Structure 1
Amino acid sequence: MSETVLPSFSARIVERLSVGATSRRERVIHSLDGLEDPVHPDALANSGAHLWRLLQEQAPDGLTSVDFLLGLDAGGILPTISLAGAARLPYKIAWKLHLPLDGAVRFSEPHAMRTDVFAYGITPGQRTVIVDDEITTGRTLADLTHRLREAGAVPLAAACLVEDTTRGARDLLSDLGLPLVSLTTIEGAA
């Protein structure tokens, strides 16, 4: 039986052709988003396993007591599911849906067309790892971190597939005591 050789994870920045007034003009695309090439399920699983190993190495304190991963809707769903599978952890997804559900935490994604995002079922003492596909400025995750802490939850770390190293996200999150772990980095147009 022949072995399937999977391409390594890659990411790059492309210009968006249609953007709103508050949206970023560029978009990070990567080899797991299925935009350019089909994605083999093993590539998704391997990326989740690699990201979990990095999290354990770079943010080991408290990762043995994670209650769940909290992924951000749209781009954060795939890395959340792949990381949940590798870590054998449950997950929740924060959505841009305002619903009458308990434990609502509202936070902002300032560069999006629709800026309000909601995480539900958040209760005091819950220990989470926040997951997204890309991190640029870090403002969304910083606001989410503040709102989770106000609700009594404990964000332990942030994990992403791609970190833009030119916009200060790592420093912003570090100042909040939230380690940032990324599968790869890129240098965006500052």
Structure 2
Amino acid sequence: MIRPMNRNDPSTGAAALSAPDAIAHPGAYIKHHIRTVPDWPAPGVQFRDITPLLSNPKVFRVLIDMFVHRYFDAKPTAIAGLDARGFIIGSVLAYELNVGFVPIRKKGKLPFTTVEETYELEYGSATVEIHTDAVKPGDRVVLIDDLIATGGTMMAGRKLLQRLGAEVIEGACIVDLPELGGSDKLRASGLPLFTLVSFEGH
């Protein structure tokens, strides 16, 4: 018997959906457990915090299963995760699909020979790196992160994988912030996207 979850979930500040809702409406179930933190890290920003998804074992399992079901038949040869929350989802997904996991890290964090890609932020720029032997030509890779905002990090990760000869079959995220334009930009570049939920605003 599946018992209902606590309907006064302190992580959301609202009535929680029951466990059977996870089967009937998994996207709504996931969205309900994402916490919004106002004015962080700057005034006016509504930060979408995924940590409640990870701390609740039932919700975490629903989250991972949604990605597993998406890619089980696609048969990627690797999952690449973007630093840092993409590591959490990507490594578990790779384990469940019985494929390797590739970290794409911020500059200076990888010990072996790397290639790097720099991308623009709202105020400045950032650089990500990948080991030169992380993937090989012909590999079919799913690139995963927690959230798409302006799309710069995912675009940079895709370019790194392509430079090493891999095919990025899809970009995947938990959350899309469509008003920031990143998902539109990524799709316009030819990258298919899969996201579980979207939120209006920043």
Say yes or no: does 1:15 pair with 2:39. yes
How far apart, CA to CA, are the structure 1 residues paired with 2:37 and 2:124? 19
The residue that corresponds to 2:128 in the other structure is: 117
Please give the TM-score of this superposition, normalised by the length of structure 2.
0.71
Q: 2:74 matched to 1:74?
A: no
Matched, 1:101 2:112: yes
Contact in 1 for aligned 2:64/2:92 (Cα 8 Å):
yes
Given that residues 69 and 91 in structure 1 are in contact (C-alpha distance below 8 angstroms), is that contact kept between their aligned partners in structure 2? yes
Shift of 1:151: 2.2
Give the SS at the match of 1:188: coil
Task: Return the letter of the residue paired with 2:58.
Answer: D
Q: What residue in structure 2 maps to residue 84 of structure 1?
A: 94
* Higher RCO (CA-CA < 8 Å; seq separation 6+): 1
Report the equivalent of 2:178. Answer: 165
* Structure 1 contact 132–159 (Cα < 8 Å) conserved: yes
Q: What is the correspondence of 1:32-47 to structure 2 with a 5 Å cutoff?
A: 33-34=51-52, 39-47=55-63
Distance 2:99 2:45 in 1: 35
TM-superposed CA distance for 1:97, in Å, is 4.5
Report the AA paired with residue 68 of structure 2. W
Q: Say if 1:184 and 1:88 are closer, same or farther in 2 by CA, change over 3 A.
A: farther
RMSD: 3.1
Which whole-Å deviations, capped at 9, do the CAs of 1:129-166 have from their partners, x for residues lacking one? 10000011112211222232122121110111101111
Contact 1:55 1:159 in 2 (8 A): no
Partner of 1:176: 189
Amino acid at match of 1:140: T
TM-score, reference length from structure 1? 0.74
Percent identity, please. Answer: 23
Q: Distance in 1 between matches of 2:4 and 2:184?
A: 39
**Rg larger in structure:** 2
More helix by share: 2
Q: Is the 8 A contact 1:133 1:161 kept in 2?
A: yes
Q: For 1:76 and 1:108, how far apart are their aligned partners in 2?
A: 18
Paired positions, count:
174
Gaps of 5+ in 1: none
The answer to whether the 8 Å contact 1:48/1:85 transfers is: no
Equivalent pair of 1:49/1:82 in contact (CA under 8 Å): no
